[in-house]
Structure 1
Amino acid sequence: MRGLDQLIKYGRATFGNGGDRLSTDRIATAITEQPWRVVLVFLLITGLFAGGLAGGGQEAGTDQFTENLEEQQALDDMEEDFGLEGRPESGSVATLFVSDERNVLSKTSLLRMIEFQDRVENKDDLRVESTTSPASLIAQQLDPEADSPDDYERAIEQATTRELEKAIVNADEVSGIPVSTDFTRESGEAKVAQIAVTYDTPPSADDDDKAALQTETAELTNKIDGYERGENVDVFGDAIINNENQQLLSDTSIVVFPAAILLILVFLLIAYRDPVDLALGLFALLMTMIWTFGFMGYAGIPFSESFVVVFALLLAVGIDFGIHSINRYREERSRGVDITDAMTITTGQLSGAFLIATLTTAIGFGANLTSSIGQLRDFGLVSAIGILFTMLIFGIFLPAGKVGTDQLRERFGIPMFGTTPLGNEDSILGRILAIGPRLARIAPAVVLISALIFGAGAASYGTGVDTEFSQEAFFPNEDRLEQYEQLPEPLAPGEYTFMAVLDHQEEDFDQGFISSVTVYVDDHDIRSASGIRDLDRAHDNPPDALKQDHRRAEADSLVTVMEEQAATNPEFKTTLDQADSNGDGLPERDVDQVYDELLEDGDAEEYVTSDRSATRLVFQVDKDADETEATNAAKEVAADMQMDASATGELVVFNAVTDRITSSAITGLVISLALTAILLMVAYWWLEGRAVYGVINLVPVIITVAAIAGSMRYFDIALSAFNAPILSVSIGLGVDYTVHFMHRFVDEFEAGRDAHDALEVTVRGTGGALTGSMLTTVGGLGVLALALIPLIAEFGILLALSVFYAYAASILILPSTIIVWDRLDKWFHSQNLAYGWQ
């Protein structure tokens, strides 16, 4: 133990009280005496990392998150059983929504549909395989031999009003006509109808090829008298929607990213107030991005949407580090200190703060390495490495570049601008920043207790944050879209159709974006009468999230195929009746014979395997249900079945992935907070001999995280796979702001100043740099709130709030926290007590 105590004393003597003297002195010497050599080394390293920028590739989709999920395994098994695995998309489908406020089933409107079908089917370059509309279905009831648009037109034109009304009822009874829910057989009227167009596209056709066909189809509608696209005709096509999703990001980028860059430049120019310093800061930010994403390339980590968070984080921390370096250097220069000595003092004082902020942030993000999700592990690794790169570039390269350029400017008489630091006591900002220390003089305990109560309340309120992840979050904000449309070219957005289509689906057809969930049954009992009865019971009294009619689920299954075939095939009905001993429409005996005849119909193969060992039930989802409700409903149905059943399908898998990501993010947050607290206490104990500084440092950070959680619920922002890391980001940014403030205070306080005087010096010096950093980050990245895509807009809001809360907590809460500690410390010492951890 004695040897350990001596080692600790030696370590403190060597590394403590002002930082790592051995390494810091050597770095400071290199920065001040050989600045251009340092710059050259960093430029060479940058060139090496630039070689890895194209190496990682890109990755999208949810496959990377689904490994080892039970729901995904059930989906894989089902696709393998039903021959769906790897099936190429050989075709494409477009759907037209045709509106007529009077009656879309009038003879005039039906003839208009037939004219459209005739045009698209006879246009060779459209590659139309078939079309279906209410008009063609009704015409086939009028003339069972009709099989072309000419036949349909003749049948409808020759029909009397009474014959047409009867054909409408018959068509709905036989196959159901695709019209809006306001239709009734008694009235024979509806306001909206669907026309389906199927294309014969090769497997090699991509979205652009399919979108071209679907777009040309949409344009054809304008050539038909009475049709006008965007007015009473809307076209839905999978390829069109995919293109519009890409267009969304493009339209957002054209407006938002230039605005963000412009605001960052403006605020950095205000903060630096010197073109050379501005260029140095921007180049350092660029180097940080090159190093980080070059590392990703060499490590083989593909770029995906979640790494936008890394980009924003590095930008925020880099801006902060850069402004602190330049501002602290200017403090010394304004006192008349020469270039070399000013930078030596700056690096000596900031190195400790940079090191603590970097290590706590890196370890916090590194907590994601414990996640079971590869994507989050990659996020944690890249974030941690990126923060380390940021410290090296802004802690060594930027100071060296500043020394080198200032020496050249001095030598050649080039003028310098903005030499005074931000927040000096004679400035307006300096007087505003003094509010925190003034409150700490007047009522520090009141400020601290109020902040803790606020934090506890915000955290409690924030526990009610939703965790759903809706596909509609990718749809544009309609109000924002209207604002974008007022912009001049080329800033005005393109045309979007899927909002109108979604309105039709929800309002006219009682369909939400989520269409169905699947229950997969892998059990040989489906060959038995009890198994079929179990399938039938699964339709009864479904959960509210599933569509139902008279307490019976709207679903496609082996049972519904059996019912439909019995209604249309007399031979099968005879076989089924003979096997049905109790008149419930289900076979109680000769089940295999029923299966034999049933499988002669190709539709049955979609719901039962050829060996009759697996089946699936596809339930329609209520339009008002979200992903979580639909998933839980499918799981409830599967759990209530006697056979071995499981909920699956893309929706169920995606929901499970979202839950997994959210769980991992929350676990990472807890680990991050715990490790950050430990590291802060150890770092301050090691460097200054006072672990309590770490505890003080952490108080504003915890309040910041609580405030973010509360704000998410207040602004109705759900925790999703995209923004889940924001809580960890808030820890990193919070530590970054409080460490700079706390470390400067400790330097001034340990130098012999009174706590209040040390706070005054800290807030005028470091407070100004924090303000410049906050305004730049909030203004530049907060502009993402203007994005068309809600997910990006929400992330921009959360990032801006996180930075602002971290700043406000540092300026307003941390001074009072320090004074409360100082008073308690003096009281303890007056009582001849000592902290056990100090």
Structure 2
Amino acid sequence: MKVFLERLADIQVRHSQKVIVGSVLVTALLATGLPSIQLETDFQSSLPDDLGPIETQDKVESEFRSSSSIIILFQTNDESKEDSFVSDVRSPDMIRMQKDLEEELSSETIVGNVRSSASFFTEVPGSKEEVKRVVEASGSGDQLFNRDFTATQMYVSLEEEMSEENIRKATEKINKNLEQTPKQPGIDITVTGNPVIRTDIGDTLVDDSVTTISIASVLILGLLTLTRGRVYGPITFVPLFIGLIWTLGTMGHLGIPLTIATIALGAMILGLGVEYGSFITERIIEEKDERGSVEEALRSAVPTTGLAILGSSTTTIVGFSALLIASISFIRDLGLTLSIGIALTLVSALVITPSLILEYERWSK
């Protein structure tokens, strides 16, 4: 391995610009995977399929769609000051509104089935007593109404796969139809259900991921600048951030999803990988001060310090690789992405950092 690192150092000394250009091209290529990063917010899908309760729950959801429907909640507002406001959701006016909404939603290609209290009627009932009688006869009142009849639900299932993209499309269609449907006074309407919660979690995951990466980047860059100076600090940070881009791009290309477990991946990679470039930079500076030549400093630092951080990173990767035997999929994904991230930040530190230092020293002379 030391011979390989010596050859790497020789290539960096003779072709530092080509190394930098090649790294930029690799970064651009891997960055194309960033838009392909998938969100996985369905916790149950990450659980082992061979567990009895999980198999039963999957069967129940498949047969009855108990948690795979988008729910539209119609609820009376006690504080409403509108005239003729609805205080009982068994009102014929409520049935009329739900029936109109059912017809509109059923015409949407992405919607598979719509079910509400209006489904029991072919025509709008003439009185609240008729609504009560039909609902009681159906035996499904408990599924659609609460106990005091101040709230009722409409279940909307999708025609296509319950993916994040399809859920968002369906929710958008539902909200659009709700805006166009005449509302009853005193009724608040909310779109909810497990699928909608999943998309909200997905948005939170993305926001938190961007926030944690941004904060970690600013803090690490600031600390590197304080400890390494305003030149060598950014030089050390750039390969680290490139390694992060390589990691996230690889996730997109390999189809590794962003989950609750991997939400802090970016900050973790930055925190764990910063030492590799930092050690390389410090050693090159020390060797340059002793030898007076940045080329000789690089030829000495890369094989020695590179071998040390290679051993350190290997033990870290082996430790994270143990997570690959976990039975829960998002734990396996965490182990895989951390292992990939450590390996790629190591490569970027060994390959890019010395080349950047060499080019800066040559330019500054």
Q: State the TM-score, normalizing by the size of structure 2.
A: 0.83
- Measured in 2, the distance between the counterparts of 1:700 and 1:608 equals 59
Matched, 1:673 2:245: no
What is the match of residue 568 of structure 1?
none
- Measured in 2, the distance between the counterparts of 1:672 and 1:810 equals 18
User: Match for 2:100: what amino acid?
Assistant: R
- Measured in 1, the distance between the counterparts of 2:145 and 2:250 equals 49
Quick check: 2:37–2:252 contact (8 Å CA) kept in 1? yes
What is the match of residue 46 of structure 2?
474
Give 2:295's match in structure 1, choosing from 739, 753, 756: 756
CA spacing shift, 1:608–1:813, aligned 2, 3 Å: same
Secondary structure of the equivalent of 1:518?
strand
Matched, 1:547 2:112: yes
- 1:320-719 correspondence to structure 2 within 5 Å: 429-471=1-43, 473-476=45-48, 496-497=51-52, 515-523=68-76, 524-525=85-86, 526=89, 529-540=92-103, 541-542=105-106, 543-548=108-113, 553=114, 555=115, 557-560=116-119, 562-563=120-121, 584-587=122-125, 589-590=126-127, 592-598=128-134, 600=136, 603-609=140-146, 612-622=149-159, 624-627=161-164, 629-630=166-167, 632-634=169-171, 636-641=173-178, 642=181, 643=183, 644-685=188-229, 691-719=230-258
CA offsets 1:751-794 (integer angstroms, 9 cap, x no match): 45311221222223321210111221122322322333221221
Secondary structure of the equivalent of 2:161?
coil
- Measured in 2, the distance between the counterparts of 1:604 and 1:615 equals 9
Work out which of the two has the higher radius of gyration on C-alpha atoms and give 1 or 2: 1
Quick check: 2:68–2:195 contact (8 Å CA) kept in 1? no
Q: CA deviation at 1:719?
A: 1.0
Quick check: 1:717–1:794 contact (8 Å CA) kept in 2? yes
- Measured in 1, the distance between the counterparts of 2:135 and 2:59 equals 36
User: Match for 1:597: what amino acid?
Assistant: R
- Measured in 2, the distance between the counterparts of 1:640 and 1:660 equals 26
Q: CA deviation at 1:796?
A: 1.2
What is the match of residue 358 of structure 2?
819
What is the match of residue 779 of structure 1?
318
- Measured in 2, the distance between the counterparts of 1:714 and 1:824 equals 37
- Measured in 2, the distance between the counterparts of 1:811 and 1:606 equals 62
Alignment length, in residue pairs?
A: 345
CA offsets 1:550-606 (integer angstroms, 9 cap, x no match): xxx3x2x2113x34xxxxxxxxxxxxxxxxxxxx5212x43x332443465563244
Quick check: 1:701–1:731 contact (8 Å CA) kept in 2? yes
What is the match of residue 805 of structure 1?
344
Secondary structure of the equivalent of 2:73?
strand
- Measured in 2, the distance between the counterparts of 1:618 and 1:752 equals 75
- 1:275-354 correspondence to structure 2 within 5 Å: none
- Measured in 2, the distance between the counterparts of 1:825 and 1:511 equals 71
- 1:70-81 correspondence to structure 2 within 5 Å: none
CA spacing shift, 1:473–1:715, aligned 2, 3 Å: farther
Quick check: 2:36–2:255 contact (8 Å CA) kept in 1? no
Quick check: 1:609–1:615 contact (8 Å CA) kept in 2? yes
Secondary structure of the equivalent of 2:155?
strand
What is the match of residue 337 of structure 1?
none
- Measured in 2, the distance between the counterparts of 1:503 and 1:530 equals 37
Quick check: 1:439–1:816 contact (8 Å CA) kept in 2? no
- Measured in 1, the distance between the counterparts of 2:164 and 2:345 equals 34
User: Match for 1:737: what amino acid?
Assistant: Y
User: Match for 1:731: what amino acid?
Assistant: L
Quick check: 1:638–1:646 contact (8 Å CA) kept in 2? no
CA offsets 1:714-746 (integer angstroms, 9 cap, x no match): 110111111111111121122121111111222
Secondary structure of the equivalent of 2:102?
coil
Identity of aligned residues (%): 21
CA offsets 1:40-69 (integer angstroms, 9 cap, x no match): xxxxxxxxxxxxxxxxxxxxxxxxxxxxxx
CA spacing shift, 1:627–1:458, aligned 2, 3 Å: closer
Query: 1 or 2 for the larger relative contact order (CA 8 Å, sep ≥6)?
Result: 2
Quick check: 2:294–2:358 contact (8 Å CA) kept in 1? yes
- Measured in 1, the distance between the counterparts of 2:147 and 2:44 equals 38
User: Match for 1:539: what amino acid?
Assistant: E
CA spacing shift, 1:518–1:501, aligned 2, 3 Å: same
- Measured in 2, the distance between the counterparts of 1:502 and 1:606 equals 19
Q: CA deviation at 1:437?
A: 1.4
- Measured in 2, the distance between the counterparts of 1:502 and 1:716 equals 26
User: Match for 2:231: what amino acid?
Assistant: V
CA spacing shift, 1:594–1:638, aligned 2, 3 Å: farther
Quick check: 2:160–2:166 contact (8 Å CA) kept in 1? no
CA spacing shift, 1:436–1:514, aligned 2, 3 Å: farther
- Measured in 2, the distance between the counterparts of 1:724 and 1:759 equals 37
User: Match for 1:559: what amino acid?
Assistant: A
Secondary structure of the equivalent of 2:152?
strand
- Measured in 1, the distance between the counterparts of 2:338 and 2:147 equals 54
Q: CA deviation at 1:534?
A: 2.0
Quick check: 2:280–2:306 contact (8 Å CA) kept in 1? yes
Secondary structure of the equivalent of 2:154?
strand
CA spacing shift, 1:512–1:680, aligned 2, 3 Å: farther
User: Match for 1:585: what amino acid?
Assistant: E
Quick check: 1:517–1:631 contact (8 Å CA) kept in 2? no
* Structure 1: stretches of 5+ with no match in the other structure: 1-428, 478-494, 564-583, 686-690, 827-838
Secondary structure of the equivalent of 1:467?
coil
Q: CA deviation at 1:458?
A: 2.0
CA offsets 1:101-123 (integer angstroms, 9 cap, x no match): xxxxxxxxxxxxxxxxxxxxxxx
Secondary structure of the equivalent of 1:722?
coil
User: Match for 1:536: what amino acid?
Assistant: K
Secondary structure of the equivalent of 1:539?
helix
- Measured in 1, the distance between the counterparts of 2:22 and 2:192 equals 49
